[in-house]
Every structure is written in structure tokens, then in C-alpha cells.
Amino acid sequence: MTVNFNPILIDLGPIRVSWYGLMYVLGFFASYLLVRYQLKKKDFGVSKLDVENLYFYLILGLIIGARLGYVLFYDLKMYLNDPLEIFAIWHGGMSFHGGLIGVLIVGILFSWKNKKSFWKIADLFIVTAPVGLGLGRIGNFINGELYGRVTHVPWAMIFANDKDHLPRHPSQLYESALEGGVLFLILWFLKDKKLPDGGLLAVFLSLYGLFRIFLEFFRQPDSQLGFVLGPFTMGQILSSFMIVGGIVLFLILKRKK
């Protein structure tokens, strides 16, 4: 099967809507609805207005963090040679790990400024994050980017953007299912359990890191980096820090509970 979707959903001259952009919008909208639902069931110490204000800053933090993360983690040499290219986000190049750092910084600053509990706010929002991650990977699949390694499994796909035109794992769909669907179901189940404030954030960090490391073995390494430490990719190295950080955070929060 050859994957060759048109990445542009609507093209009206000056107005263009891409599938990937639509997935971002749907992800934030779904997150907002799920956050509102949780606010009706439990007191997180924030109001509807607080949530709406925070979403604006979270979107900025995500975009800026994801872009700078890609620049620093994946292609620093190229961007040092052409610094203006850093601002050309329409050329692609976003890092999940950078985006995560961006939203965490925004969340911490928002909580500190408004005298709210960062841990409660983090738990409220992090449960919804896998929905956006899953949709984003579907956007990657439609764009024919971030595809998998060469394989001969029956469901292998040939991506039009692959210059080698070889059958590959549809790793974007694997990631959508595991980092998106499965992780969301786990966190949604745990949200009503007796965990310390911030516990869901810790679980997210560790499980996402674990899933990402596993799935990277099916994903083609970034062409400009390749493998950076033996058989491991940059995504796996960054995710290993997430696993350790999540475990340490959970133990600290549990001790303080």
C-alpha cells in the first residue's frame, strides 16, 4: 500500500488548512472539553476562566518549546548557520520533548503568579495530553513524515515522501495507538484513584518515555542525526530522562503525601 495523501485539507488561495493543523486544533479542543468535564467532578482549585487563560499560554509554550527543542536537540548546526530559519516553522521541525518543557514552564509560571497548585493543575491537564498526541501522529501519517523502518510485515506501507520507496512500518499509527489511545485510557482510569497531587504527571512522564523508547525501534531515525548512541536515537535518549524523572518525581510526591 502506498501512502500519498494530500496534506492540505482546504486550499482557497490565501486560506490554506492542513490536516496536521486541523489535528492540532482538534487536540486542543478535545483537551478543553475533557478538562471542563473534570472540573465538574472535582475541585482542582481553578476556575473556568483560569483554564481558558491558561490554554492560551499553553499553546504558546507548546509551539515555542517544540520549535526550540527541535533546533537544540535535532539540528543545531544547521540553524546556527541560518538563524532566521528558526522562525520558519512552516518548514517543519517540532520536538515533543521541547514542547513538553515549554508547557511545563508555562504551567509553573502560571501557578506561581496566580498562587495555584501546580501539581493539581498538571494532573488536570496531563490526562488529556495523549488525545492531542494521538491526533498529531495521525497528522504525521497523512503528511507521510516520520515514517518507520524498512520491513516486510503484511501491513507495510510505501510513503510517497520516502525517496527510497521501500515498504516501511506505519510507525505513526503505532505511536497514535500507544502514546495516544492506550496512554489516555491508563491516565483516565487512574485519575479517580488515590494518587498524590502531581502523581498523574509522574505516571505520564514515565509511561510516555517507556512507550516512546519501544516505538522508536520501529521508526526511521532522523536523517540528519541517525543513531546518536549505539543503536539508540535522540528520541530514545530524551525519553529515558522522562522515565527516570517520572519515577523520581512519583517517589518524592508519595513521600510528601
C-alpha to C-alpha distance for 204 and 164, rounded to whole angstroms:
36
What's the mean pLDDT in 93-114?
A: 94
What's the mean pLDDT in 185-209?
A: 96
- Mean pLDDT rounded to a whole number for the chain: 93
pLDDT at 137: 96
The mean-pLDDT minimum among 27-31, 82-86, 133-137 falls in 82-86
Q: Does residue 76 carry a pLDDT above 90?
A: no
Q: Is the pTM of this model over 0.85?
A: yes
Residue 234's closest CA among 66, 70, 82?
A: 70
What confidence category does residue 12 fall into, taking pLDDT thresholds of 50, 70 and 90? confident
- What are the pLDDT digits (tens) for 126-185? 999 999 999 999 999 999 999 999 999 999 999 998 999 999 999 999 999 999 999 999
Contact 98, 72 (CB under 8 A): yes
- What are the pLDDT digits (tens) for 205-214? 999 999 999 9
What are the grid coordinates assigned to 6, written together?
A: 494530500
Contact 175, 216 (CB under 8 A): no
C-alpha to C-alpha distance for 119 and 122, rounded to whole angstroms:
5
**What φ, ψ does residue 9 adopt, rounded to 5°?**
-80, -45
Single-letter residue type at 151: T
What's the mean pLDDT in 223-233?
A: 90
Q: Does residue 234 carry a pLDDT above 80?
A: yes
* Beta strand residue intervals within 46-175, DSSP E: 158-159
Q: Does residue 54 carry a pLDDT above 90?
A: yes
- Residues 13-45 as b/e (b if ≥16 CB within 10 A, e otherwise) read eeeeebbbebbbebbbebbeebbeebbeeeebe
Residue 148's closest CA among 20, 18, 3?
A: 3
Single-letter residue type at 206: S
Q: Does residue 257 carry a pLDDT above 90?
A: no
pLDDT at 75: 85
The residue with cell 526550540 is: 68
- Calculate what percentage of the chain has a pLDDT beyond 70: 99
What's the mean pLDDT in 98-109?
A: 96
- What are the pLDDT digits (tens) for 112-127? 999 999 999 999 999 9
Q: How many CB atoms lie within 10 A of CB 221?
A: 17
CA angle 240, 65, 242 (to 5 degrees): 15
Sequence ranges of the domains in the chain:
2-45+117-256
Measured torsion, CA atoms of residues 58, 91, 236, 217, in degrees rounded to the nearest 10:
130
pLDDT at 85: 85
pLDDT at 156: 97
